Structure 1
Amino acid sequence: MKEPEQKRSEVQKRKNQNVHPKQRKYFTLFLLLIVIILGTFFFYLGRIYTDAQKMTAKIYSSSNITKVRNTQTLLKEGKPISILLMGTDTGAVGRNFKGRTDTMIVLTLNPQEKKMTIVSLPRDALVAVTGFKQYYPSKLNSAYDYGGSGTAVKTVQNYLNIPIDFYATINMGGLENLVNAVGGITIKPLLTFSYDGHSFVKNKETQMDGSAALAYVRMRHSDPLGDYGRQERQRQVLTKVALNGSKLKSLMTEKFFKEIQKQLKTDISFNDMLLLALKYRVATHNMTSDHLQGDADLISGISFEAVPETEKQRITNLIRSSLNLEESTTGDTLSNSSSIDITQK
């Protein structure tokens, strides 16, 4: 059973309404992760080099998979790279980095073209999870639940026929503490609603503490755009946390870094961060933002997002182009082949 085209048009309408020259400077979820990673690195490097290494070690967590590409060579040569960004929503109930991912974004950095590309993936996209095909049909966000970051990476790779070079996971359940750690945020809600004891009015500038921010990003069922709307609110709040009124120095506190150690995991190592800082910051000068659009479908009474092959191919083309890879057919998670085409242009 398909949802009408109205949902797709509403998503595009809200997206178009939000496109503003100043807002293009906002790096959404990527900005939060990279600012935290690089900001943490430079903050500690300015004090003691070994402290920077220790800090990085606390957030480092291997994906435990063999990577499709040689990431060290890519970084040293300053070639385009990709990062799978994931947001979990479990910390508030005492289960850090477990469960399903509420947010999944493929980010590419191309320092040669000074360009960054961000693509949001629907959490309910219909897939066969790599290594767990016996549970088909599955939702894309279950990949992390089944096998952790490595399984999520492999599933996205196979789904779109793109290489994923790194991953970063932030615990959305810890968002309340993160917002409080930076002294709260001020935003204009994207819609009017009440949730978990908090009320929000569309376009009315609102000061939020951690509790209010968490309620704002958690509501899904009352949003006419469903999960697409929630993803947009998450990106809005995470951006504000990162920028905090465009005063990044507010992030450079012991309190913030101690909190982020609990909420962030990545396989970007200390040496990787050095190379990112030296060669990839220029890639944030221009940003392209997009999303993979699916259509609601019911399978055995369970709701999925069925993404048309033409739409998958469009996103595959976009991401591969941003990585300077040759065009190739989009992926198929039901295929017996798990090879990823990494042919360079």
Structure 2
Amino acid sequence: MRSQKRKKKKWLKVTSIILLVLIIGAGAYAYTVYNSFKNAANTMHEQVDRQSGKRDTAVSFKNKDPFTVLMLGVDERQGDKGRSDTMIVLAVNPNNKSVKMLSIPRDTRTQIVGKGTEDKINHAYAFGGVPMAMDTVENFLDIPIDYYMKVNMEGFKDIVDAVGGIKVQNNLDFTQDKIHFAKGDLKLNGTEALAYTRMRKQDPNGDFGRQGRQRQIIQGVIKEGASVSSLANYSDIFAALGKNVKTNIAFDDLMDLQKNYKAAGSNIQQMEIKETGTKINKIYYGIVSAEEKQRVQSELKTQLELK
């Protein structure tokens, strides 16, 4: 009996030691991941010199306030800051646990705030960088634009590769940049994903079809990046983000976001703004009617709990 008790105590002791080692090891791993994420977040952080004219008080992530992010996909070339070929507004509400995602067609004609002219909305970034792009979109949608996230589209492929590729459901057979995309479920690497988002001329839905593919890629990256299997690639993921993404969301705010807004990120609802194509002085523009603009603005204001 005493011998059996000694054996039980011995195995209990051994098991306890193993568990302790695993906990310490997991803690050390978590600490390493935390530090890598913090370094990437600090590299990505780039403050913008502007203040929203549509906010009386600043957004508080600790209080779970609804907020917006303007995502800018920019083709940056040497000696040229480029244009924002992709403009997506995310309206995040942790209270109803959802995100509204609106893609703004790049040819949309609107007032360029700070320039005093009407032009294609994607020209705002070319004229005045991130601040003018945020001001212009804020005026166009009549909602506060609280934060921005600028992604270098040439480097976006590095992010897709870092998460191990993404899966999409393709509903159109086409070829872009010498890559053939068949209908059905596809697994794309970074180069393929970039080509997938760039096609619009072969799409009967034009820029709207292109926007849908862009949303697929973004949602695919979010899904794969949040998966357990991606933990093994965390250093590559954070390095790719730090190199290719800029945002005015600070590290501490990102931690509060992860804590308080996680449920909203799993429920992304797509919005669409309808336009009529026309030419003015031989230049193509997308014209949004007053009624359509009002519809989109109302939906976003409801999502943001604005009066």
When normalised by structure 2's length, the TM-score is 0.82
Quote the residue 1:266 is aligned against. Answer: 247
Runs of 4+ in 1 over 4 A off after TM superposition: 48-52, 70-73, 93-96
2:64 equivalent in structure 1: 78
2:302 to 300, 305, 321: 321
SS state at 1:112 partner:
coil
1:88 is the counterpart of 2:74: yes
Give the distance between the partners of 2:248 and 2:30, measured in 1 at CA: 19
Aligned ranges 1:112-151 → 2 under 5 Å? 112-133=95-116, 136-151=117-132
What are the Cα deviations for residues 109-145 of structure 1, in whole angstroms up to 9, with x where unaligned?
2222223222221111101211112xx3311111111
Residue 72 of structure 1: how far off its partner (Å) = 4.7
Give the AA of the match of 2:49. N
1:64 has 2:49 as partner? yes
Paired amino acid for 2:88: I
Question: Partners in 2 of 1:131 and 1:198 — Cα distance?
Answer: 41
The letter of the residue matching 2:280 is: I
Q: Which amino acid is 1:214 matched to?
A: L
Question: Percent sequence identity over matched residues?
Answer: 36
**Gap change, CA 1:220 and 1:320, over 3 Å in 2:** same
More strand by share: 2
Deviation at 1:55, TM superposition (A): 2.4
1:19-38 matches, within 5 Å, as: none
Distance 1:47 1:56 in 2: 14
- Does the Cα contact within 8 Å between 2:138 and 2:144 map onto a contact in 1? yes
- C-alpha separation in 2, matches of 1:77 and 1:180: 35
Shift of 1:206: 3.3
Tell me the equivalent position of 2:144.
163
What residue in structure 2 maps to residue 192 of structure 1? Answer: 173
Distance 2:257 2:274 in 1: 30
Asked whether the 8 Å contact 1:217–1:233 carries over to 2, the reply is yes
Residue 194 of structure 2: aligned partner: 214
Aligned position for 2:87: 104
Q: Which has the larger radius of gyration?
A: 2
* CA distance 1:70–1:170, change in 2 (3 Å): farther
Pairwise CA distance, 1:158: 1.0
Residue from 189, 201, 224 that aligns with 2:204: 224
Residue aligning to 2:31: 46
SS at match of 2:143: coil
| Cα distance change of structure 1 residues 168 and 232 upon mapping to structure 2, 3 Å threshold | same
Point out where structure 2 has 5 or more consecutive residues left out of the alignment.
1-27
Whether the aligned pair in 1 keeps the contact of 2:71 and 2:149 (CA below 8 Å) is yes
Q: Which moved more, 1:159-168 or 1:112-121?
A: 112-121
